[in-house]
Amino acid sequence: MPHLDEKLELILAEVIRRNAGEPEFHQAVREVLESLGRVVAKRPDFFDDALIERICEPERQIIFRVPWIDDAGKVQINRAFRVQFNSALGPYKGGIRFHPSVNVGIIKFLGFEQTFKNALTGMPIGGGKGGSDFDPKGKSDREIMRFCQSFMLELHRHIGEYTDVPAGDIGVGGREIGYMFGQYKRLSNRYEAGVLTGKALFYGGSRARTEATGYGNTYFVQSMLGTKGTSFDGKKVVVSGSGNVAIYTVEKVTSFGGKVIAMSDSSGYIVDENGIDLKLVKELKEVRRARISEYLRIKGDGKGVYFVKAGDGSIWDVACDVAMPSATQNELTGRDAKTLVKNGVIAVGEGANMPSTPDAVRVFQEAGVMFAPGKAANAGGVATSALEMQQNASRDSWSFEQTEGRLATIMKNIHDTCYATADEYGVPGDYVSGANIAGFVKVAEAMRALGVI
């Protein structure tokens, strides 16, 4: 276990006590505090004015009921959240997640991570996150619309282009953002495009936003590989998940000469030794909203294609050079990490938020595997959301090339900042410490400048 400074240990104990039963939040805070020992050793002034305690406490937490009527005419109830974590650098910014596993601890961990991630982008955005335990799986389009409208009926009073700007996350994509924006517009009687990001192009969305998280992670890993004089070219890659992040990771990795051989969803994983047929995955996931097992049914058995049901194995059993977990938190365990190391993995880039368990991170770092933590590597999505806000504010719409160009520069800067910060603090190549320290210092300095608020 990394050493935790005595004062930081006390701060963590207090966070755990005040937020009982929220293990993911504890995990996220512990990881950041573990990196801060080196900072406070040089800069004990960061202990002043309860700066670290304040960073661990959300500025505001909203919990509300969402009633809606299903297609059978029955009233359903869900619980929803918006955690406005930190606004030192700009309006709260972060996605909305619809998934049955959502609870206040999950949203808090995501909001905490988001605060540092957003700081790393260099854009003027604070950190927040929201969501609901609503399960979009199997719901009709009309049910999704009614739920989104009811959700926004409460949320609208808490958000705004200068206050809090939500976007998508797991279970929330362009369709849901459209229904939420429509309801917000109706309730506020304002065409306030910058209140939500991830919008479709024809009503104020940004080009390259859909692709941004996956492309951004790929750019980050490409830079990381570059520090060791190598690249994606000719590498075997495994990308877990098959949502928006995973799909556009596969697209970019392939364009850089890598070969993605496996993807997954909650039903299991598919392997295609010939390289994943991304056109088919897009059709299954973006159009038909089908299970990934359909891939095997369409491609046929044999010829290097197979499917493993969830519970019968782990996608991380598939040997690869680069692993890009892009599904959900804690999906890659210590055991998985050991298997990947045994099979010769050289780099890991987290497309999802906190997909590797603390054990897994330790295994990678001890084995000398290059490891890019989500809060740095997957920041391209939210960075492009900030570019969407810029376009909305100037009533402009940029070309794909211009937007992707900005994204590529931002990702390179994040990579270089993490790398240089790790060097400066005596842990060369440790991107976890680099990201946590660089993100923390930026937020903490801004908070100090704003006084005790």
Residues at the binding site for NAD(+) are 213, 244
268-307 binders of ligand GLU (CB under 6 A): none
Residue 382 interacts with ligand GLU (CB under 6 A): yes or no:
yes
Is the Cβ–Cβ distance between 28 and 56 less than 8 Å?
no
The strand order across the sheet containing 164-168 reads: 60-69, 75-86, 127-132, 92-98, 164-168
Count the Cβ atoms, other than its own, within 10 Å of residue 10: 12
Under the binding rule (CB under 6 A), the answer on residue 385 touching ligand GLU is yes
What is the phi/psi pair of residue 148, to 5°? -60, -40
Which one of the spans 62-70, 88-96, 142-150, 361-369 is the region binding ligand GLU (CB under 6 A)? 88-96
Task: Detail the DSSP E strand segments found in 28-133.
Answer: 60-69, 75-86, 92-98, 127-132
Q: Which is nearer to ligand GLU, 368 or 400 (CB)?
A: 400
Q: How many residues bind ligand GLU (CB under 6 A)?
A: 11
Q: Is 360 left (phi over 0), alpha (psi -120 to 50) or beta?
A: alpha
381 binds ligand GLU (CB under 6 A): yes
347-349 vs 370-372, strand pairing mode: parallel
- Pairwise CA distance, residues 153 & 444, whole Å: 34
The C-alpha atoms of residue 85 and residue 70 are separated, in whole angstroms, by 32
Residues 97-116 that bind ligand GLU (CB under 6 A): 114
Give the nearer residue to ligand GLU in terms of CB position, either 37 or 130. Answer: 130
Our CB check for ligand GLU shows the closer of 326 and 357 to be 326
- Sheet holding 370-372: strands in order across? 305-309, 268-272, 259-265, 236-239, 322-324, 347-349, 370-372
356 binding ligand GLU? (CB under 6 A): no
Is 129 one of the annotated active-site residues of the chain?
A: yes
Pick the closer one to ligand GLU by CB: 11 or 107. Answer: 107
CB of 205 to ligand GLU, least distance (A): 12
| 95: contact with ligand GLU by CB under 6 A | yes
Please identify which residue in 37, 58, 90, 94 interacts with ligand GLU, judged by CB under 6 A.
Answer: 94
Question: Is residue 197 at the binding interface for ligand GLU, with CB under 6 A as the rule?
Answer: yes
436 binds ligand GLU (CB under 6 A): no
Catalytic residue among 7, 74, 129, 259: 129
Query: In residues, how long is the chain?
Result: 453
User: Which residues contact ligand GLU by CB under 6 A?
Assistant: 93-95, 114, 167, 169, 197, 353, 381-382, 385
Which residues does the annotation mark as catalytic? 129
